[in-house]
Structure 1
């Protein structure tokens, strides 16, 4: 190789380095976003959350980072048995979702993470706050589906919401009339829950949680054969995360219970 040839080879390599680096993730905020999304896809939730939070410090109005950090906070919080630790993560998710909505309320994902965070908070709240969170979350579920009617996560939340409201006790329903400013909760039924979660499965047939929740509702309304079929489909799904392993275990236990009846 002559010196001139070597010179041009090195020049071309030097010019190509920035583009190669950008392909591998870019620099600065782009680099952080790329790394965070890689961790998010690999279900390395704690590491991904740390990256997204770092990005948010640099760009406080980065809506994608705010949305995904909120989802991750909800996901991580749900793993704790202790309501105090659980609540800390859920409150973080709620705060991040509020900021995401503030950036642009017309985006489906921002409304979805807001609904998700509000629904999660209802799990660790007293009765009055739980009702308020349920009512408020419905508003954001409806907004999400109005923007994107093929949002599987929103349909799943719609199903969960319907199930919770449909199965309030008589005492809870009576108390809600005194606690709610409107005097009443929106009407919901178990059939609404079945339809919504089934829609979520149609849109995302690989999500094990959707099958498990659908099977639980089917069991409660005595749809035995349908419940068995749903659980069998659930057990055929590929297990990716540690949550999937736990959900698969629960599906097996639920199937055993249904088959005994």
Structure 2
């Protein structure tokens, strides 16, 4: 082979080898550049504190994102699990589209189940489970709805037992008592025939006690006032209902949901006041004319004296 061809082949081989070496070095360098991003250290206590602050500021979607960030690094973090469940329910409840609601509720149920695995007796995990079940039930047919209220009983009772200082747990217990105690005729028959009867232990008196306790623990939550007032009204305790609604209207709403609850509280209070006026008018109409004249004369005499 001529010498010049031998040199040419040698140069080509050298060039090819250099190219492969450079490519290999480049590929080896890429992971070392990306490694810090994939193994970035998350300051979990700091992120949890940020999540709590966002939640307390009613920035719930941002708070949920923070809790999910924690779970991406610490899948068994108890606070992040139950908090993500509760926030997922609250966010999902705002949607009118049932598909989106169901998606958020399903995610919440997964978070709550994982929280129960971490701490089966934890008040927060049990509350998150019961809270999720109560909201999921609104999307179910009658059978699944009634089953949900039967199955959530131990969770909501355990939540109150483990966290008696938590107003939200008492509110949920009060709602459970009242709803089960007021099953309609069809729900009672269905429960008796197919579910062995409705859940035991529910009562309207217990609902009032639980909702009153929630209000005592957190008197600035307008939803607690409204829930308690409605139960008072439905139980015929109209004076108590008016009193608690007047308290509700002194609370400044902080969210659109609270603003709507304030509007409903005002409407309900107006209805109860009209009812009281009608009752007073009926009583007045039943008083004989001569008694009315005597009362008026006594009033005039008192004013003169």
Q: TM-score, normalised by structure 1?
A: 0.85
Choose 1 or 2 for highest CA Rg: 2
1:62-211 → structure 2 map (5 Å cutoff): 62-180=77-195, 182-211=196-225
Contact map agreement 1:165 1:187 (CA 8 A) in 2: no
Contact map agreement 2:42 2:73 (CA 8 A) in 1: no
User: Tell me, which stretches of 5 or more residues in structure 2 are unaligned?
Assistant: 1-40, 276-305
Q: Give 1:54's match in structure 2, choosing from 69, 74, 99.
A: 69
Offset at 1:220? 1.4
SS at 2:152's partner residue?
A: helix
Q: Structure 2 CA distance, aligned partners of 1:164 and 1:184?
A: 11
1:239 and 2:253 aligned? yes
Contact map agreement 1:152 1:204 (CA 8 A) in 2: yes
Contact map agreement 2:86 2:128 (CA 8 A) in 1: yes
Deviates more, 1:76-85 or 1:56-65: 76-85
Deviations along 1:10-55, one digit per CA (max 9) or x if unpaired, are xxxxxxxxxxxxxxxx953233223222211211011111111121
Offset at 1:116? 0.9
Deviations along 1:106-163, one digit per CA (max 9) or x if unpaired, are 2211111111111111111111111111112111111122223232211111110011
More RCO (CA 8 Å, sep 6+): 1
Contact map agreement 2:163 2:169 (CA 8 A) in 1: no
Aligned residues: 235
Q: Structure 2 CA distance, aligned partners of 1:44 and 1:209?
A: 18
Offset at 1:172? 1.0
Q: TM-score, normalised by structure 2?
A: 0.73
- State the superposition RMSD in angstroms: 1.7
Deviates more, 1:42-51 or 1:28-37: 28-37
